[in-house]
Amino acid sequence: MAATRNTPVYLFILPTLASSLLPSPLPSNLILDTTITDGWQHPPVARLEQRFKDMHRLDREKKIHSPELYAIWNAKPWLTEEGMRKSRSGEKFEWDYVFWADAGSFRDTWYNGGSWPLPKIRRTWEKVGEDEMDTEHKVFLPLQHATTKELELEGGLRRSYRRGNSEASFFGGSPSTIRWFNSTFDAYRNFYMSRSFFIGKEQPLLNSLILLLPSRFIRVHVNDPYAPAYIHPNSMLDHRWLRSIMRRYLRSFYETRALGRCRGEYMYYQFFFADKHTRQRLQDMWLSDLHDSWDHWFGGGENPGGSEKCRTTRAISLLEAFRKDDVLGPNWDPATYRSIVVRLGGIR
Ligand SMILES: *[C@@H]1O[C@H](CO)[C@@H](O)[C@H](O)[C@H]1NC(C)=O
């Protein structure tokens, strides 16, 4: 964690774990909050203990989940606003950008020696194309598998309700965006609770929010065939040709390598927000490390050219992403999804 040296990190941790898990001395950019001593103590979920315990019976993955875990997952937007508020010094002072990051996403040590996220983060927001909402007020949210027909309306709603489209391990934006996100998440949680939707996991709730309010969210997408940095395959002998055919006709989650040899969506946002030196290190590492079965069958795997280096892209709004031909199409309107949510009433 020392590697994020320039970025203040506000860490919620149980008092009992603080001494055993953290390094000594503590990094100077780390602010510890040990005031929360159990998962049910967060105001948004305190009154939901019994509901989450009942819901646990409906969970397809109940063996690996617990009601306490639901409580923590559901409290993330609340904790983000809470951390933002408590870490402010002085009444008037505000952060420029605030992000939630699961402690688990710091597991990797790839960013050692760099600072993360990079200081010029504002550019990410500035470069998102204008649509219904002004660019500043958008939540950055990494997604998995969300540009395939997975998101297709009614069936997609039911499925995406269980799948992890939104990663939920990282999100953020300006302080006003964080406040909006917390109160919106809270309002929808109450609504879905009243209809007996399964919302133990926070991902389904986030999936529904991104379909209801897609212009409020932005992302970077490593398999984006519409990215300016996408390199078209120029012949059938190019292994990218096969990858693009796979994607077009089989709609698989198969990595198209639209932006070169990058390591999946999860690592991509970390790469995207890293400084130049860290990016270069990752590019070189992935160029030689990443192989999949296609590389071995169709060549190009052992000695990838420099053009295969992982490339950066720009952030896009989810409205723009969902309206691509290979997702929900240019005529898709979030209002369609809104009426489905209302009609379904509740999903188990
Ligand atoms: C999050 O939003 C809810 C609902 O608007 C509000 O009651 C709560 O105070 C907010 N959380 C924080 C930490 O401010």
At which of 220, 248, 267 does a domain end? 220
Specify the pLDDT at position 220.
92
Show the domain range for 262: 221-313
Q: For residues 143 and 255, state if they share a domain.
A: no
334 part of a folded domain? no
Q: For residues 228 and 88, state if they share a domain.
A: no
337 part of a folded domain? no
- Whole-angstrom distance, CA of residue 132 vs CA of residue 116: 30
- Whole-number Å distance, alpha carbon 175 to ligand 1 midpoint, is 13
Ligand 1 pocket test, candidate residues 33, 183, 188, 191, most atoms within 8 A of CB: 183
- Whole-angstrom distance, CA of residue 210 vs CA of residue 16: 36
Q: For residues 71 and 186, state if they share a domain.
A: yes
- How long, in residues, is the chain? 348
pLDDT in tens, 192-215: 888 777 778 777 788 888 888 888
Q: For residues 239 and 294, state if they share a domain.
A: yes
Q: For residues 23 and 152, state if they share a domain.
A: yes
Q: For residues 86 and 121, state if they share a domain.
A: yes
- Whole-angstrom distance, CA of residue 222 vs CA of residue 120: 20
Does residue 140 register a pLDDT over 50?
yes
Element (H, E) at 236: none
Q: For residues 174 and 115, state if they share a domain.
A: yes
Closest-CA residue to 321 (of 205, 165, 136): 165
Q: For residues 26 and 120, state if they share a domain.
A: yes
At which of 220, 242, 275 does a domain end? 220
- Whole-number Å distance, alpha carbon 43 to ligand 1 midpoint, is 9
Specify the pLDDT at position 348.
33
Instruction: Map tokens 């950066």 to a residue.
Output: 312
Pocket of ligand 1 (CB under 6 A): 78, 81-82, 182-183, 186
Q: For residues 299 and 196, state if they share a domain.
A: no
Specify the pLDDT at position 147.
52
Instruction: Please state the domain count of the chain.
Output: 2
Q: Can you tell me the mean pLDDT for 4-25?
A: 84
- Whole-angstrom distance, CA of residue 215 vs CA of residue 128: 11
291 part of a folded domain? yes
Q: For residues 178 and 237, state if they share a domain.
A: no
At which of 194, 220, 246 does a domain end? 220
Specify the pLDDT at position 4.
52
333 part of a folded domain? no
Closest protein CA for atom 2 of ligand 1: 183
Q: For residues 110 and 226, state if they share a domain.
A: no
- Whole-number Å distance, alpha carbon 52 to ligand 1 midpoint, is 20
Does residue 265 register a pLDDT over 80?
yes
Q: For residues 161 and 146, state if they share a domain.
A: yes
